[in-house]
Structure 1
């Protein structure tokens, strides 16, 4: 690739030990929830760390894909319910207005609209908000022993951070109702074959390598075209068919694609029967 890849030049924002950030291969960031003793349950501090890192990631032209995973035996157990209970007692618990105004949703991911691809490497259990995060990822790799659930109804709360409409879109009303209204566990194979929010199921040791291989395949394509294609997917969730097409055609991401260097390189490489050498996309 013509872009110079130097991970040592990348300086992510400072963050707590509850989050690990690394750059395992060209153009790829790996972000790991690091509260294994607490099954990576989300806290305000971890949410703030994730927000800072993803905001920074989105601004780095040399980073094209992010892989998210969890340390230990869980991907993410959702919200820290003990802390939530204490906030409820103190009168500081989240109100419905707080949920509505949460720009990026649970863990600063579940409602985040970002044109760069997000790959979830689900290494174990995912509950509540953890599933809502997964539902907003583009590709989901799960271990054979992964377990998924939206058990909020069992705790008197709600999957309010984007999980309900996203699950309804991918699984359909009746299957979404099964997860949301019963709150029962779903296996990785069921999540793939019935509920349709998992792409690939592999043995546990292969979860991260498979996610990184998918990322490698993504970065072999034009980053401008990949990001513009994802923008189209996001717009299809928001608009009807023709409006989605028109909005994407006139967007800044599409303008960058049509006026950038990578479209020229891709067409030239095809004509010359060679592999293209992609450049970092211009900043929007």
Structure 2
């Protein structure tokens, strides 16, 4: 039986394509899935719920129609600017998880971006903070903020710089030109798989299936170490990670016993939901 997500608008759809997997679809195809305040609030509630729902181990984020996400709704943003309601720093910082409640989220669970189509602005900031990215070979990916007089301020700049280095990040951010999905994989390195459009969701689900075949405790502890690695030196990362809640839960939980027992008995392990942290 699938868990019950929080109530949400029709601008977001929620499904459970496989046990332990949540699929979230941005559902404004006519507007290229540009985010509205309603979508932002829907995503905040759904993803906060996902973080606490122990039966869900992985989330896939995709878009409806021909685009993944065009970023912020620039028509609404323009209306705010012209009426004297600019995007102030306090408002940006108050959104602690960033654009779409994802671009600055530090989750213990894996996030997979399934780029059914092109991604721009905040949509690209969103995917840069996902752990794995599957992209349609027809997708283009861009951070065109400088062409609109705005800034990729929701986490895209530091994430991209850390991922690809200063010069390649500058190429995307200062020129504002989009790159192909193939370039995003081969030159920039922030896309994992490039596939035909019809294969995007099946590939993302296959990746999720591989993840959930592993111990959820081990996966969550490993994800924590990946996040810590961006903040600390090697030795500091090991020291902080060894005392993290996720690592303590791994070593004190049942799945470590099951994994080792299954290995010795030459069978597949039967993982349990991780204990609530």
Normalised-by-shorter TM-score class: over 0.9
Match of 1:210 in 2: 203
User: Aligned pair 1:15/2:15, yes or no?
Assistant: no
Which residue of structure 2 lines up, in the alignment, with residue 83 of structure 1?
A: 76
Per the TM alignment, residue 127 of structure 1 is displaced from its structure 2 partner at its CA by: 0.1
- CA shift for structure 1 position 244: 1.2
Alignment of 1:186-197 (within 5 A): 186-197=179-190
Q: C-alpha distance in 2, partners of 1:201/1:128?
A: 20
Q: Secondary structure at the match of 1:140?
A: strand
| Partner SS for 1:194 | helix
Match of 1:30 in 2: 23
CA distance in 1, matches of 2:30, 2:44: 22
Whole-angstrom distance in 2 between the partners of 1:240 and 1:87: 42
- Residue in 2 that maps onto 1:107: 100
Name the structure 2 match of 1:94: 87
Post-superposition CA distance 1:138-161 (Å, at most 9, x none): 000000101101000000000001
Query: 2:131 matched to 1:138?
Result: yes
Q: 2:162 aligns with which of 162, 166, 169?
A: 169
Deviation at 1:99, TM superposition (A): 1.8
Partner of 1:122: 115
Q: 1:242 aligns with which of 217, 221, 235?
A: 235
RMSD between superposed Cα atoms in Å: 0.7
SS of corresponding position for 2:188: coil
**Secondary structure of the equivalent of 1:120?**
strand
How far has the Cα of 1:239 moved from its partner?
A: 1.6
Please, which of 177, 180, 183 is the counterpart of residue 176 of structure 2? 183
SS at match of 2:214: coil
Shift of 1:189: 0.2
CA distance in 2, matches of 1:58, 1:78: 23
Q: Structure 2 unaligned runs (5+)? A: none
Which among 167, 185, 194 is matched to residue 201 of structure 1? Answer: 194
- Between the aligned partners of 1:58 and 1:102, the Cα distance in structure 2 is 17
TM-score, normalised to structure 2's length?
0.99
**Structure 1 unaligned regions, length at least 5:** 1-5
- Report what 1:3 is aligned to: none
How far residue 97 of structure 1 moved from its aligned partner, in angstroms, is 2.2
Deviations 1:36-74 (CA, angstroms, capped at 9, x unpaired):
000000111100000000001111110000000000000
Counterpart-to-counterpart distance in 2, 1:87 and 1:138:
33
